[in-house]
Amino acid sequence: MSDTKVFVAGHRGMVGSAICRELTARGFESPITRSRDKLDLTDQAAVQAFFQKTKPDAVYLAAAMVGGIHANDTYPADFIFENLIIQCNVINAAFLAGVKRLLFLGSSCIYPKFADQPIKEESLLTGLLEPTNEPYAIAKIAGIKLCESYNRQYSRSHGVDFRSVMPTNLYGPGDNYHPENAHVIPALIRRFHEAKVSKLNTLSVWGSGNPRREFLHVDDLARACVHIMSLDRSALKDLSSPRSQHINIGYGSDVSIKELAELIATTVGYHGHIQFDTSRPDGTPQKLLDSSRINALSWKPEVELKEGLRLTYENFLDSLTHETGARSD
């Protein structure tokens, strides 16, 4: 295990950094990493040269352009282009360099907006997507199908074993806390914290508060990713089909955005009124994954939401310390 050369693409992001921590905890030697200024993953020639030089044994593809509803709706061209080109470059370069095992990180937004709940892997491509993040979702679907296609064409001849996981909504250390471009948990943590510091009596939250979302701590996802990569191919084959090879990774239960906002307000210590702005989009009504495949592979989440939010708020306060030199709470 310690002599396995692992490349983590996107190691500075929330998911990539969590995977690096988990690999280290499991005794792997330091993962191969490259920051964007050292390796531009949108540069095909540079990516192929990197793979030919480093020859990793395994790859975790966690590099991606990500964001919440506002960011997805504002920058659709960036989201589809950046993610498509990164995926194509890394997956094809890995194949050309003889990499046998790769894990592609997708997103639960790949599923139809009105998919039956909880969402099974087989629901992919059975209905229309949520419009606000459709370009990002299409890019991620392409990544899944790219991995499946390499497996179908090159599994026997080249030993290719490219895997895909679809995590639910993530949160935890290393997240982006921008109040508009971030995902819902980090965005609300920042806004509630600033409302507390400013002593605001009322804080407005986008949407009705009715949609339900499932949330998974990023350290749980990292444990699941490394676990899946450690499994023999036969263990996965029994749970999938050639055209449905991806694996959902979820917490197993969901909460409404209203419940989430109230829980974050309590965690942060904000005691004002929470107002829901129904003129803003809600997104998908519910998005709860069926995680029976990953559960059948002997994995369960460990971090409960309330405790995870407490730890995440501590991480946010630490990030403020780095920004300003002192906490503002």
Give the separation between CA 311 and CA 315, rounded to whole angstroms. 6
| Residue 150 annotated as catalytic | no
Three-state secondary structure of the chain: CCCCCEEEECCCCHHHHHHHHHHHHCCCCCCECCCCCCCCCCCHHHHHHHHHHHCCCEEEECCCCCCCHHHHHHCHHHHHHHHHHHHHHHHHHHHHCCCCEEEEECCHHHCCCCCCCCECHHHCCCCCCCHHHHHHHHHHHHHHHHHHHHHHHHHHHHCCEEEEEEECEEECCCCCCCCCCCCHHHHHHHHHHHHHHHCCCEEEEECCCCCEECEEEHHHHHHHHHHHHHCCHHHHHCCCECCECCEEECCCCCEEHHHHHHHHHHHHCCCCEEEEECCCCCCCCEECECCHHHHHCCCCCCCCHHHHHHHHHHHHHHHHHHHHCCCCC
- Which are the contacts of 230, defined by CB distance < 8 A and separation ≥ 6? none
Q: CA 23, CA 19: separation in Å to the nearest integer?
A: 6
Do 171 and 215 contact (CB within 8 A), yes or no? yes
- At position 90, the amino acid (one-letter code) is V
Choice among 60, 75, 111, 136 that is catalytic: 136
288/276 Cα distance (integer angstroms): 22
| CB neighbour list of residue 201: distance below 8 Å, 6 or more residues apart | 272, 273
User: Which are the catalytic amino acids?
Assistant: 136
